[in-house]
Structure 1
Amino acid sequence: MSRRVSLPAADDLFRPTAPAPPDEPRAAEEPPTEQQREPKKPSGRVRHDEKMTVYVTSDELLDLEHARLVLRRSHGLAVDRGRLVREAIAMVLADFEAHGDDSALVRRLTEE
């Protein structure tokens, strides 16, 4: 009897598990208007497939950690720094989508 273990092929390991999304809306369907779209929500506590590295100063990291600890102590919310950053990004992008040129993001980026 052979002691070799049979492993699945790469095609089996990296196959799509969900149907591919349609490329374009069907001719009979109208794309949703801005008012019909639901606001985007942050992904929360799920396994994330994409990674982005962001460099911050030590003061920014301390501020982030302080906010995380205050959320835990004062509000009973045990969140990690990644979730805190994703929530902040979702808030900023929602404000930008809703207010465009008048958004806090545009104001802060043009203050320099």
Structure 2
Amino acid sequence: MPRRVNLPGASELFRPTQGVPDLVPGPASPASASPRTAPGPQATGRVRHDEKITVYVSSDELVALEQARLQLRAEHRLGVDRGRIVRAAIAAALADLAERGADSDLVQRLGDT
């Protein structure tokens, strides 16, 4: 007798990304009996982004990025994806540029090419 598997429907697979109420952990108001809770995706550190870019990297750079991801997971217990690593690196480079200007690592690296 063949076993029948119940699969989730489309409404269970796809969640709305806009128009979701802001449920951020915070102090409950005096009138509230229970604290507010954050939804799953925000609790994992994932953020919805409105813009997308494509970046081409060499094979060696991709391997190094993946090794960094695995190192973050193994040694620092940070389960992050490559996109979060890239966004963190961009933020660090831009902060360094804003703080140090011509002496920043970004200016130095780009000046060497």
Aligning the two structures, in what range does the TM-score lie when normalised by the shorter sequence?
Answer: 0.5 to 0.7
One-letter amino acid of the counterpart of residue 106, structure 1: V
1:111 alignment partner in structure 2: 112
**Shift of residue 45, structure 1, vs aligned partner:** 1.9
Which protein, 1 or 2, shows the higher relative CO under an 8 Å CA cutoff with sep ≥ 6? 1
Q: Give the % identical residues.
A: 63
The runs of 5 or more residues in structure 1 that have no matched partner are 1-16, 19-43
Any residues of structure 2 matched to 1:5-84 within 5 Å, and which? 45-84=46-85
Structure 2 unmatched runs, 5+: 1-17, 20-44
Where do 4+ consecutive residues of structure 1 move more than 4 Å?
A: none
Matched residue type, 2:112:
E
What is the aligned partner in structure 2 of residue 25 from structure 1?
none
In structure 1, what is the Cα distance between the partners aligned to 2:92 and 2:74? 22
TM-score (norm 1): 0.60
Q: Deviations over 1:27-79 (max 9, x none)?
A: xxxxxxxxxxxxxxxxx521111000000011100000000000000000000
CA RMSD in angstroms, aligned pairs only: 1.6
Residue equivalent to 1:87: 88
Amino acid at match of 2:62: L
Distance 1:68 1:89 in 2: 16
